[in-house]
Structures are given as structure tokens and as C-alpha cells.
Structure 1
Amino acid sequence: MNTYAVIEIGGQQLRVEPGRFYNIRHFASIKPTNLKQNTKILIYRVLMIRRESDINIGHPWVKGGIVRGRILHPCLEKKITIYKMIAKKKIRRKLGHRQKSTRFLVDSIFFNEQEIN
């Protein structure tokens, strides 16, 4: 697609396109109790919008730029294994955890209250 936006969410920057889903570690503005299925979200921290050959870059955010989406479901990332070994001391320690994340779907991108396709 030639239409996409760069947003800032969950401490990272993502290039998002309408109709695709993405995994985010945490939504800072939404409480974990409100992260239910089909919850609609609006993201106002849009850094850049591209449609065909037009590019709008914000300073720091694009005025009038909104990304509309909805939460599909909470999920867990792949397991991360941490293995610590100290040689000649017979110390071995194996830890691991799975990072919680939320999968959300981008429905549309708006610029100055007009939907971009």
C-alpha cells in the first residue's frame, strides 16, 4: 500500500497501514482492565503520514493526524531465556519470562478529519 503512518505508541515507533495488525507491549494511556476485545482506540501521536506522493511530517506530531483502530486480544510474546553461568564456581541459573503484549488492528488513518485510503 502507498498509504501509511508512523506512530509513537508503547515507547516505540511503528509504521502502520490500514487493515493490518500489530503487537504492542503496553498502551500507556489505557488501563489494563480496559483492554478488552473490540475496544476502539484513537492514537493521536502520529509522527508522519504518507498518502501516494504526499508526505506530512509533524513537529513533533502531525496536527489533525489520527490513527483509528481496535484491540483484537491480549497475547504473550515468545519466551525469553536468560542463562547465567559462572565458570569454576558451579553456579548456573536459568530464568525466563514471556512479555505481555496486546494485538491491535488499524482500521483507518485520518488527516484533517478526512479518511485516507
Structure 2
Amino acid sequence: MNKYAIIETGGEQLRVEPGRFYDIRHFASLKPEFLSSNTKILIYRVLLIRNETTVSIGQPWLKNAIVKGRILHSHIENKITVYKMNSKKKTRRKFGHRQNSTRFVVDFISLDGKNL
């Protein structure tokens, strides 16, 4: 918990720690057909890095900061059901959506070429 980074990927910001896995809706630079397991990824959009007592903040991103990881697998999340109904007009519409998701694990957080 002393070492973590805040990254921006898939339209959201995540707090990541080395050795943990996270689910992301999509990676902006990778297409779904290239998301096979054990594909190494580098994330350069690092907003903040905390290493024990020192905190480095980027404006907007840190230079020379990389989060290194690998993709575990791609999967589809649970179905979300959307039900629309107009009571006076007697119209109903029901449909669902399943979001594609990718699970990746963070191996290293590096700043200025040194692994934290």
C-alpha cells in the first residue's frame, strides 16, 4: 500500500498497485483481436505515483513514468437489462447489453527508469 500509481485508461482513472489485477472496459491503443493472454502492455498515462513518503504529480501526466503489466484474459461482463415503458401509451421496450472487459495485472511501476 506504500507504492501505487493513478493511471488513466479506458476513459477512467484507476489506482493501481504492483501484483494486483484490474478490469478495464477497453484499452485505447489495442484492438480486441490483439488482446490475447500474456500480451505485455505499457501504460504511459500516469497521473500520480506514490513511493512510500514521496508523491510525484504530473501536469497532466508524469514524464518518464510507465506502468508495466500483462493481459490475463478478455471476458464479457454480466448483462445489464434496460426496460423502458410508457404507461399511458402502452409501449414497452426491453433490451440488454454486455460490456467487453479486459483483465490485466500490474507487474511494475517505474519512474525515471527505476522500478519501484
Q: With structure 1 as the length reference, what TM-score do the two structures score?
A: 0.96
> Please, which runs of 5 or more residues in structure 2 have no aligned partner?
none
Structure 1 counterpart of 2:107: 107
Alpha-carbon distance, 1:32 to partner: 1.7
* Distance (Å, rounded) in 1 between the aligned partners of 2:70 and 2:40: 4
Q: Which amino acid aligns with 2:76?
A: L
Number of corresponding residues? 116
> TM-score normalised to the size of structure 2?
0.96
* 1:88 Cα deviation after fit: 2.3
5+ unaligned residues in a row in structure 1: which ranges? Answer: none
CA distance in 2, matches of 1:57, 1:47: 6
Detail structure 1 runs of 4+ shifted over 3 Å in the superposition: none
Q: 1:72-111: CA deviations, max 9, x gaps? A: 0001122111100010222111111110010100011001
Q: Give the structure 1 partner of residue 34 of structure 2.
A: 34
Q: Give me the whole-angstrom Cα distance separating, in 2, the residues matched to 1:3 and 1:56.
A: 12
Q: Over aligned residues, Cα RMSD in angstroms? A: 0.8
Match of 1:22 in 2: 22
The answer for the alignment partner of 1:80 in structure 2 is 80
User: Deviations 1:1-33 (Å, cap 9, x if unpaired)?
Assistant: 110000010111110000111111111111222
Query: Residues of 1 paired with 2:40 and 2:98: CA distance?
Result: 26
Match of residue 70 from structure 1: 70
Q: Which amino acid aligns with 1:68?
A: K
| 1:48 Cα deviation from its structure 2 partner | 0.3
Q: Which residue of structure 2 lines up, in the alignment, with residue 54 of structure 1?
A: 54
